Amino acid sequence: MKYSIWALIGLLAGALLVFSCSKKEDEDELVPVLKLSSPTMGAEGGSQWVKVAAEKTWTLSVEYAAGSGDWVSLEKTSGEGSASVYMTVTPNEGDNPRRATVVLKTRKYEDRKELVQAGNVASSAPLWLELPALDQPQLGFFTHAMDGSAYISREKSGVRNWSFYYDYTAFVSWWVAYPLNKGLRGSGSRTDNWQATDPLLPASAVCDLSSGSYGGGWTRGHQIPSADRLDYVPNITTFYPTNMTPQDYDFNCYIWADLENAVRTYSSNCDTLYVVTGADVRNSNTWSGYKAGHAAKVPTHYYKALLRRKGNSYSAVGFYLPHASGIANNDYRNYSCSIDELEQHTGVDFFASLPAFLGADEANAIEAADPATTLKNW
């Protein structure tokens, strides 16, 4: 077949136009984003939403770790533009955790998110990474939703806020545990909206700190800091008396404040930081005044246990500080320790569900890691 020179030029121009448009289409495509409602699920399985933020045609698929089988299903595996895709996870009958990767692909880009399902390990506590073991039957375990009410489930309560392990005779929580990242921190300012009670406990079970401190010269010391929940209503929950302990003023304003600021910095450099803040009252013989309606036990030590998740990598470190004004100007890093050492100091089994998600060997290595090395990498 013969073509005139003008016909050949036309064909070439058309081809160049198609190539140019295809190239421009790729260049104009925004990078798609895949988001799981939660990167971890309990052994019982269940469902969650997978969020796809994309402009172009996309596909979803699931890749499984060797030997884990087919245990994740998606209601749809392709589409165009942004969408919410319902994902169902079958129960894990085995003792070991299992992993899968959800993969979002467009013509030009790919985004991958790992999903970890816990092994079928019996536990009386929710399988949240921040929670220590609940092994003290005389204490009360409670979890707040972001509005301060009792947390029931993600479907009914939304995102969990903070949990506490309450000592009804010492009138303080042994620890407060919570996840921390930029989204959970929110934005706003300190409300100073001191509460007379906690909606999860009767008024007679707590110190009324709404109009002042405990008496006896002790200040009201937060366990989850006000600055870790800055949205207006969640910030008010940090002023519940169950979040307070009688604390030395200089300790509170200097070394403890420095450590709290460091924790927020650590959380900004990872996906999520799981935080346990505790007040060690087991061997205390010191009590506050009765200005708040009850005398509360004054902790001998304060501590923090931190578990950092960045991508698929986990690391952890602890801090155990004597409750004394004499260390107010010291460097909080002088009191760092491994999680294993912190467990010896406090008698608390931290991050009790970690073996269910990572396996016992990896969890043990994380909890035994040298704190100085860990902090250098944070």
Terminal alpha carbon distance of the chain:
69
Same domain assignment for residues 267 and 370: yes
Residue 267 buriedness (CB in 10 A; 0-12 / 13-18 / 19+): buried
- Alpha carbon separation from 131 to 95, 196, 256, 306 (Å, rounded): 20, 26, 22, 11
The answer as to whether 250 is a domain residue is yes
Do 94 and 193 belong together in one domain? Answer: no
In 66-206, where do the E strands start and end? 72-74, 78-80, 83-89, 98-105, 110-117, 140-145, 160-167, 172-180
**Domain total for the chain?**
2
Residues 336 and 254 in one domain: yes
- Cβ atoms of 180 and 160 closer than 8 Å: no
CA gap 262, 332 in Å, rounded = 9
Domain membership of residue 346 (yes or no) is: yes
Instruction: Please give the full DSSP string across 333-349, using - where no structure is assigned.
Output: GGGEE-HHHHHHHH---
**CATH for 43:** 2.60.40.10
State whether 102 and 231 are in the same domain. Answer: no
Structure tokens at 278: 């505790």
Task: Based on the fold, state whether residues 106 and 72 are members of the same structural domain.
Answer: yes
Same domain, 145 and 68: no
Distance between CA atoms of 344 and 65, rounded to whole angstroms? Answer: 35
Determine the Cα–Cα distance for residues 167 and 181; give it in Å rounded to an integer. Answer: 28
Q: Does residue 54 share a domain with residue 198?
A: no
Which tokens belong to 269? 């450099």
Task: Average pLDDT across each block of 10 residues of the chain; the chain has 378 residues. List them in order.
Answer: 52 51 58 88 87 93 85 96 95 82 94 83 76 92 95 92 96 98 96 96 94 96 98 98 98 98 97 98 97 97 97 96 97 98 98 93 97 97
Query: Do residues 216 and 295 both lie within one domain?
Result: yes
Confidence (pLDDT) at 11? 53
**Burial track 11-25 (b if 16+ CB lie within 10 A, e otherwise):** eeeeeeeeeeeeeee
Calpha distance 282→294 (Å, rounded): 18
Question: Token pair 């990078």 is at which residue?
Answer: 31
Residue type, 120: N
Long-range CB pairs of 199-204 (<8 Å, 24+ gap) are 199/148, 199/149, 199/150, 199/240, 200/142, 200/144, 200/150, 200/242, 201/140, 201/142, 201/166, 201/242
Q: Shortest CA distance to 135 belongs to which of 376, 350, 307, 324? A: 350
Q: In which element (H, E) is residue 279 found?
A: strand 272-280
Q: What is the pLDDT of residue 14?
A: 57
- The CA-based angle 316-320-322, given to 5 degrees, is 170
Per the DSSP assignment, residues forming a β-bridge with 71 are: none
| Residues 95 and 155 occupy one common structural domain | no
Q: Residue 13: what pLDDT?
A: 52
Closest CA to 305 of 315, 314, 317, 313: 317
Together in a domain, 40 and 165: no
Quick one: 52 and 175 in the same domain?
no
Look up the CATH number of the domain holding residue 336: 3.40.570.10
Same domain? For 110 and 155 the reply is: no
- 230 found inside a domain: yes
Q: Report pLDDT for 22.
A: 46
For residue 128, being part of any structural domain is answered with: no
Q: Which domain holds residue 72?
A: 33-117
User: By C-alpha distance, which of 226, 247, 223 is closest to 236?
Assistant: 226
Pairing of strands 57-64, 98-105: antiparallel
The three-class DSSP label of residue 182 is: helix
* pLDDT for 143: 94
- Give domain status of residue 352, yes or no: yes
